[in-house]
Structure formats: C-alpha cells, structure tokens
Amino acid sequence: MAVRHVLIPRSPEAVWAVLCDGGKYEEWVIGTDETEEVDPSWPTPGASIRYTVRLGRWSLAGRTVVRICEPGKRLELEAKAGSLGTARIAVELLPWGEGCLVRVDEHPLTGPGARLHSAVVDVFIQIRHRRMLHRLSNVVQDSRTETRVPD
C-alpha cells in the first residue's frame, strides 16, 4: 500500500473545492492528458470522469469513478485503466492548524497491477504521489477562492 501526505497552506474547504472541480482533474492527476467527459454530479458516488492517459506515444482511455464521498473530508475513487486493471485511491483531508493535511492512499485492485503488487511497485506509486500532491498543492494555492494562509 502506498500512502503519502502533504501539508497545503490553505483550508480544507479550498482543497475540497479543487477536488470537486472535475475540470481541474487533469491539472493535478499524474498521467491524465486530456479530460473528455466529467459527470455533472461529480463527486457524488457513482459519478465519473473519462480521460486519456498518455505515456510517450502510447495512450489509453481511462475512467475514474467516485466510490465514497464525505464532503470536505474524504474522497475515494476507483481508477479504471482497461486491461491494466483498476486501483483504489483514497484522498483524506485533515484540518492542520490553518492549513490542510492531504493524505493519499492507493493500491491496485484488479489486473496486472494487483497480481504484481510489491514493495517495488509501491516505490513507483510513491514517486507518482509525490508529484501529484505537489501539483494538487499548486492548483489549490493558485485558485482564487480563498486567500493563502501565511507560511
């Protein structure tokens, strides 16, 4: 299981606002090249986002479905990548002083990723999460919905 966190100097509400904006998904999720369709009810359970994933010249259609939504606190997603399988991604928001501690927990559910899951695979997921959380922090801090909390 790959768990990583970041402290974002903005309120949990500001972070939640970005997570609820399906149009910003490609801005912070690593690998998502182009968002094709966002369910208007995102992020209610069952809502989904369809997108293209690109790795060099290789691309595939992806779809992420909301499985659990606790507004302002927790969003659990199932990422579906066709023959590559599925993964569970849980994003938890915790108030931390005047900021927000964001914790991401991901593990493969089906497909080759689940069958080959190991500590080595978790290292690659950790690297991806480090970049993803950095991008999420930037998107949240660049949003105009709230003033930035001082460092």
Q: Domain containing 120 — which CATH number?
A: 3.30.530.20
Structure confidence by residue, pLDDT tens digits, 31-44: 777 788 999 999 99
For residue 109, being part of any structural domain is answered with yes
Q: What is the pTM of this model?
A: 0.85
For residue 127, being part of any structural domain is answered with yes
For residue 150, being part of any structural domain is answered with no
Say which residue the tokens 């801090």 belong to: 141
Tell me the longest C-alpha to C-alpha distance in the chain. 45
Structure confidence by residue, pLDDT tens digits, 94-146: 999 999 999 999 888 888 777 777 777 777 777 777 888 899 999 999 986 54
For residue 148, being part of any structural domain is answered with no
For residue 89, being part of any structural domain is answered with yes
- Provide the number of structural domains found in the chain: 1
For residue 65, being part of any structural domain is answered with yes
For CA atoms 54, 115, 43, 9, give the dihedral sign: negative
Q: Which residues pair with 21 in a beta bridge?
A: none
Structural domain for 110, as ranges: 2-142
